[in-house]
A and B are shown apart, each in its own frame.
Chain A
């Protein structure tokens, strides 16, 4: 029983150690806020095609990774994120997904 309690204490301690600080959470929120403002401003610049879409998609991906990495603790909780195979598979899937989206977009936009 004593062992269980000790383990529990260690787990809680580790959990606390690995999670970001309150300051990091506020800075993350600030970064998300700024990125959203830039996204909206970018959509008002009157750009079209690749000049409009690619930066918006890039900012969207950055926001996605920030929320997942910091708020969902994936950056610190999942050691697998640092693994070679995970990076390879995740990277390939991301490139494929973005590539397919851009090709379909180009097909509609430029009547290919």
Chain B
């Protein structure tokens, strides 16, 4: 039976730290996107939104890679209490990130259509708040699940 003690040796902390860095970076690009639309700089808006989408997508790719490795190592959803807790917690977070990516994609699409002007800055801010919420939850998960044995 696989529990937390036996899964820790194959926790790849440097890899997950890089994922955390990427997600934190995406919060920065998100606030810069909001600042750009508030100032009426639509070119920068698209650049920062695309950067956020790319960073979020990279984080998700890392998550999928990590799940694949753990599953191959024998950590299944039903195999242990730790497996169930781990996949539920990180899986729900991943689902929220995916939701955020869809929202970001929609904002970029609307921006290219010319429908994301200065008067819609609040829409970008709301998506940003959601994105930071996803980031803040990862701050907790990273420390409690990965760093604390």
Residue in B35, B139, B144 whose CB lies within 8 Å of A25: B35
Contacts of A25 in B (CB 8 A): 28, 31-32, 35
- The reply to whether the CB of B136 lies closer than 8 angstroms to some CB of chain A is yes
Chain B, range 22-59, C-beta contacts under 8 Å to A: 24-25, 27-28, 30-32, 35, 38-39
Contacts of B119 in A (CB 8 A): 8
Closest A residue to B16 by beta carbon equals A40
Given A40-B13, A67-B27, do A15 and B135 touch, yes or no (CB 8 Å)? no
> Which secondary structure characterizes the binding site on chain A?
helix
Assembly CA distance A36 to B129 (angstroms): 21
Given A25-B32, A52-B148, A56-B148, do A43 and B139 touch, yes or no (CB 8 Å)? no
Q: B59 → chain A, closest Cβ, in Å?
A: 14
Q: B87 → chain A, closest Cβ, in Å?
A: 22
Instruction: Contact check, A64 vs B136: say whether CB atoms are below 8 A apart.
Output: yes
Instruction: Contact check, A43 vs B13: say whether CB atoms are below 8 A apart.
Output: yes
Contacts of B135 in A (CB 8 A): 67, 71
Instruction: Contact check, A60 vs B140: say whether CB atoms are below 8 A apart.
Output: yes
- The reply to whether the CB of B63 lies closer than 8 angstroms to some CB of chain A is no
Instruction: Contact check, A56 vs B147: say whether CB atoms are below 8 A apart.
Output: yes
Q: Beta-carbon contacts of A17-44 to B below 8 Å, as 1s and 0s?
A: 0010010011011001100110110111
